[in-house]
């Protein structure tokens, strides 16, 4: 049913995964499906589903790091992935920009969709996918080049050449990343000379310069001090109006502060990561349905 409507809309071979529609979603006339989110202010908002996994398993060699994960991630909202170390949060995040492709032993089963289109198809253009789905890493990883060259790296590789055009993109991206005022005098200096928090915002600006639709963030604040952390959180909240953000975090308070939706991952006894609960952040934190979620969250709150 879903697959058919998708085919009708796109009129091409691009298609989502066939099979039953999950109970959470309702099929609309367009390619996308909708879910309801209760935002922290208790407003009921309709979001399109931007990213979707259906019964996804990820293997590293023979080790099954993720087991049957099904999740719909809403557009223009912040979704937090929480859970203890080693339960597969980073692995899950890397599904969406296919960074797991870089690991030769990694293998994906199941369905991962961006805007209803399966992204593990043979025909998927991974380079194009990564332009649409940007990623910010745990440890800030600016390239050893100038601030300007860092931010303009993506657009330069993707064919924008003129210095003027690049200058505009760099300024716009740095402003979006709330870094412009701090670095506008030192665009030609090495990015490695910036502070950790500045470097992380630079990495966000570098992603924004490619004009992605989705930004994946893997514990983006774990290497930063509290002030820098708050800056990044503010930044995320501002970006959420126009971008779909998925953030992995160890920090329960951070998840509670910034996210609209939260997914709690835990490890099965066989060490595979499983999704135990997913829902609006307010509900996950105040009224978790699953005992294990509650144990994890309260354990962390002490």
Ligand X SMILES: Nc1ncnc2c1ncn2[C@@H]1O[C@H](COP(=O)(O)OP(=O)(O)O)[C@@H](O)[C@H]1O
Residue choice 192, 223, 230, 267 for contact with other proteins (CB under 8 A) = 192
Residues 238, 240, 243, CA angle at the centre, nearest 5°? 125
Stretch that binds ligand X, among 20-28, 79-87, 168-176, 235-243 (CB under 6 A): 79-87
Structure tokens belonging to residue 47:
């979001």
Residue choice 24, 55, 131, 160 for contact with other proteins (CB under 8 A) = 131
Stretch that binds other proteins, among 135-143, 165-173, 219-227, 251-259 (CB under 8 A): 135-143
Rounded Cα gap, residues 58 and 106, in angstroms? 7
Stretch that binds ligand X, among 83-91, 108-116, 177-185, 195-203 (CB under 6 A): 83-91
Rounded Cα gap, residues 302 and 300, in angstroms? 5
- Selection from other proteins, ligand X, Mg ion, none that 158 binds (CB < 5 to 8 A by kind) is other proteins
Residue found under tokens 């997913």 = 278
Distances in Å between the alpha carbon of 288 and those of 36, 41, 74, 79, 295? 18, 18, 20, 16, 10
- Selection from Mg ion, ligand X, other proteins, none that 198 binds (CB < 5 to 8 A by kind) is none
- Contact between 53 and ligand X per CB under 6 A: no
What sign has the CA pseudo-torsion 92, 263, 204, 118? positive
Rounded Cα gap, residues 139 and 127, in angstroms? 23
- Contact between 90 and Mg ion per CB under 5 A: yes
Q: Are 214 and 114 in contact (CB under 8 A)?
A: yes
Residue choice 95, 99, 191, 247 for contact with other proteins (CB under 8 A) = 99
Stretch that binds ligand X, among 4-12, 84-92, 193-201, 232-240 (CB under 6 A): 84-92
Residues 163, 164, 166, CA angle at the centre, nearest 5°? 65
| Binding residues for other proteins, total number by CB under 8 A | 27
- We find the least distance from the C-beta atom of residue 105 to other proteins, in angstroms, to be 12
Which residue, 91, 79, 87, is CA-closest to 262?
79
Rounded Cα gap, residues 286 and 214, in angstroms? 28
Q: 266: how many CB neighbours lie within 10 A of its CB? A: 20
Per DSSP, 130 falls in state H
- We find the least distance from the C-beta atom of residue 224 to other proteins, in angstroms, to be 16
Rounded Cα gap, residues 123 and 117, in angstroms? 11
Q: In this structure, what are the phi and psi dihedrals at residue 130, rounded to the nearest 5 degrees?
A: -70, -20
Q: Return the number of the residue (41 or 85) whose C-beta is nearest ligand X.
A: 85
Binding mask 86-105 for ligand X (x = CB under 6 A): xxxxxx-----------x--
- Contact between 145 and ligand X per CB under 6 A: no
Structure tokens belonging to residue 14:
């691009």
Residue choice 105, 145, 189, 271 for contact with other proteins (CB under 8 A) = 145
Residue choice 15, 31, 65, 170 for contact with ligand X (CB under 6 A) = 65
- We find the least distance from the C-beta atom of residue 82 to ligand X, in angstroms, to be 10
Residues in contact with other proteins by CB under 8 A are 97, 99, 102, 127-131, 134-135, 137, 139, 141-145, 153-154, 156-158, 192, 203, 206-207, 210
Residues in contact with Mg ion by CB under 5 A are 90
């Amino acid at each position: 049913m879903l697959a058919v409507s998708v085919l009708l809309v796109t009129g091409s071979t691009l298609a989502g995964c066939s099979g039953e529609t999950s109970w959470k979603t309702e099929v609309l006339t367009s390619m996308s499906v909708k879910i309801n989110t209760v935002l922290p202010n208790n407003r009921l908002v309709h979001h399109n589903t931007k990213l979707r996994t259906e019964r996804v398993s990820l293997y590293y060699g023979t080790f099954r790091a993720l087991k049957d994960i099904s999740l719909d991630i809403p557009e223009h909202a912040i979704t937090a992935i929480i859970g203890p170390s080693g339960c597969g949060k980073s692995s899950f995040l890397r599904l969406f920009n296919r960074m797991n492709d870089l690991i030769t032993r990694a293998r994906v089963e199941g369905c991962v969709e961006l805007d209803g289109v399966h992204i593990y198809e043979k025909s998927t253009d991974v380079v194009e996918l990564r332009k649409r789905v940007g990623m910010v890493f745990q440890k800030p990883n600016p390239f050893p080049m100038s601030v300007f060259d860092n931010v303009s790296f993506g657009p330069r590789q993707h064919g924008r050449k003129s210095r003027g055009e690049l200058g505009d993109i760099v300024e716009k991206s740095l402003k979006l990343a709330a870094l412009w005022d701090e670095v506008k005098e030192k665009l030609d200096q090495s990015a490695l000379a910036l502070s950790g928090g500045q470097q992380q915002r630079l990495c966000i600006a570098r992603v924004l310069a490619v004009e992605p639709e989705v930004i994946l963030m893997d514990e983006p604040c774990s290497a930063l001090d509290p002030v820098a952390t708050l800056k990044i959180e503010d930044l995320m909240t501002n970006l959420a109006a126009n971008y779909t953000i998925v953030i992995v975090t160890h920090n329960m308070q951070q998840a509670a502060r910034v996210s609209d939706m939260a997914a709690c991952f835990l490890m099965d006894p066989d060490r595979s990561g499983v999704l135990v609960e997913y829902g609006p952040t307010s509900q996950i934190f105040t009224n978790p349905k699953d005992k294990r979620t509650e144990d994890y969250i309260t354990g962390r709150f002490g």
